Amino acid sequence: MKTNVLPLAILGLVFTLGINPASAQIKLNSKSIGAAQKGLKAATFSDADAAKLAKEAVTWMDANNPVAAANDPYTVRLNKIFSKHKNEGGLTLNYKVYKVKDVNAFACADGSVRVFSSLMDIMSDDELLGIIGHEIGHVANKDTRDAIRSAYKRAAIADAASSQSGVVNSLSESELGTFANALLDSKYNRKQESEADDYSYAFMKSHNYKVTALASAFQKCADMEKASGAERTKTEKMMSSHPDSGSRAAKILEKAKKDGLSK
């Protein structure tokens, strides 16, 4: 089994966090996805299809990565700050902590939220809520569904004529790892990132959380980017299409000031 670097940087992770290849731990599979994707018609790809495939991929990742136990301090902390949000924005959410060195988090179309312990190490409770809110925004805005559909469409092009069923089949064990990798490799554009930022801000505001914590989370990412300097990782370069973390922090602070939530 191949160990890859998670290609998402947080908040789009998608704050654009750099991930050190030497320390990456998340387990993914490098085998080809294969025939399950052949002949898929993008037009028939529904929310239910995306949720089904996302659930299969996350179940595989849970089985192949170190998940914090119920009594683990990381799980206890996440329960404390997030348990009341299991049903948020019409979504039914489930969440776990991966005890890995990668600094990341993600949410999937089935409502799965996975937070990495190294991210929790550097973020406050409110900052984590802002990050998770952003990831939930990608689900609520259908970004994750569209990303799965796009990945399937790309993989199915060569064999599109081999099947006309348009049915989304379950993936085999040998296919799940690669699909999980493709899922995490999804890239969101600037508009999607900005809309997810707005969703997170509204989430924080509606629950009376400190909205400026979202800005401070972005600023921490900006500081990490600055510290990396010329040694920017491949992941950081790949995420260069995302809005600058410092600019995103400033935008959040400006909005908070207009709302009377920051001086």
Out of 47-51, 68-72, 167-171, give the one with best mean pLDDT: 68-72
Q: What average pLDDT score do residues 49-67 get?
A: 89
Q: What is the mean pLDDT of residues 229-248?
A: 58
Closest CA to 183 of 91, 32, 61, 54: 54
- Which pLDDT score is estimated for 22? 35
| Residue 162, in any domain of the structure | yes
Flag whether pLDDT at 254 surpasses 90: yes
Within a domain: 201:
yes
In degrees rounded to 5, what are phi and psi of residue 14? 145, 30
Residue-range definition of the domain harbouring residue 242: 34-258
| Active site members | 135
pLDDT of residue 152: 65
Give the pLDDT mean for 218-246.
Answer: 65
What pLDDT does residue 49 have? 84
**Is 12 a domain residue?**
no
Specify the number of domains making up the chain. Answer: 1
pLDDT tops 80 at residue 159: no
Total-model pTM: 0.78
Pick from 132, 53, 64: nearest CA to 94: 132
What does the CA dihedral 23, 9, 248, 95 come to, rounded to 10 degrees? -100
Query: pLDDT at position 74, please?
Result: 98
Residue 21 lies in a domain: no
What percent of the chain stands above pLDDT 90? 43
Helix (H) or strand (E) holding 113: strand 112-116
Provide the mean pLDDT of the chain. Answer: 76
Task: Establish if 127 belongs to a structural domain.
Answer: yes
- Using CA atoms, how far apart are residues 133 and 93, in angstroms rounded to an integer? 12
pLDDT tens profile 107-155: 989 999 999 999 999 999 999 999 999 999 999 999 988 888 776 665 5
Name the residue type at position 45. F
Q: Please check whether residue 16 lies inside any domain of the structure.
A: no
**Residue 27, in any domain of the structure:** no
Mean pLDDT over 24-46 rounds to 50
With pLDDT > 70 as the criterion, what percentage of the chain qualifies?
A: 66
- What integer pLDDT is reported at residue 153 of this predicted model? 62
Query: What does 17-41 look like in DSSP terms, one character per residue?
Result: ----TTT---B---S--GGGGTT--
Cα 147 from Cα 132, distance rounded (Å): 18
Give the model's confidence band at 71: pLDDT under 50 very low, under 70 low, under 90 confident, else very high: very high
Q: Is 111 helix (H, G, I), strand (E, B) or coil?
A: coil
Residue 117 lies in a domain: yes
Maximum Cα–Cα distance across the chain? 61
pLDDT confidence of residue 154: 55
